[in-house]
Amino acid sequence: MQYLLDTHVLIWWITSDQRLSPKARSLITSRRNTLLWSVASSWELSIKHALGRLLFDEPPEVLIPAELDRNRIETLQITNAHAFKAGQLPAHHRDPFDRMLVAQAQIESLGIISNDSKLGLYDVDMFW
């Protein structure tokens, strides 16, 4: 199956954070699954890093591509269809980055690995 990683999932994965659920760990490590990372998540990380809300040993533009490669995670670009869909979603979640993930998951038929319960209010398959 194909899974889209929520932003916190990759952070928790690469930092070995114990908040990452056993189910999420299993999905990430299974070679049968295709893992995807949204460009929206790179954007979100970059902003949070610039604001000092996320601190890394390396700049996000160095760390994230290296981790995506190391962990066999493919990058999902943002298309106009994704953007229009995100704008049309009900306002269950106010975070524009999370709304983009939902739109991408819906259009691309992806499951989302996330512990964000608000995402579950949308018509997407959530895994945690």
User: What is residue 38's predicted lDDT score, i.e. its pLDDT?
Assistant: 98
User: What is residue 106's predicted lDDT score, i.e. its pLDDT?
Assistant: 98
Nearest 5°: phi and psi at 30?
Answer: -70, 125
Question: 47 in a domain, yes or no?
Answer: yes
Question: 74 in a domain, yes or no?
Answer: yes
For the chain, how many structural domains are there in total?
1
User: What is residue 48's predicted lDDT score, i.e. its pLDDT?
Assistant: 95
User: What is residue 20's predicted lDDT score, i.e. its pLDDT?
Assistant: 97
- CB count, 10 Å around CB of 7? 23
Predicted TM-score (pTM) of the model is: 0.94
Which residues lie below 8 Å from residue 110, measured CB to CB, with a gap of 6+? 2, 3, 4, 36, 104, 124
Question: 26 in a domain, yes or no?
Answer: yes
User: What is residue 82's predicted lDDT score, i.e. its pLDDT?
Assistant: 98
Residues of the chain with pLDDT under 50: none
Question: 83 in a domain, yes or no?
Answer: yes
Q: Where residue 47 sits, what CATH number does that domain have?
A: 3.40.50.1010
Question: 97 in a domain, yes or no?
Answer: no
Which residue range is the domain that position 43 belongs to? 2-90+105-127
Question: 112 in a domain, yes or no?
Answer: yes
Distance separating alpha carbons of residues 50 and 59, to the nearest angstrom: 10
Q: Give the model confidence (pLDDT) of 34-66 as tens digits.
A: 999 999 999 999 999 999 999 898 999 999 999
Question: 96 in a domain, yes or no?
Answer: no
User: What is residue 45's predicted lDDT score, i.e. its pLDDT?
Assistant: 95
Question: 99 in a domain, yes or no?
Answer: no
User: What is residue 93's predicted lDDT score, i.e. its pLDDT?
Assistant: 87
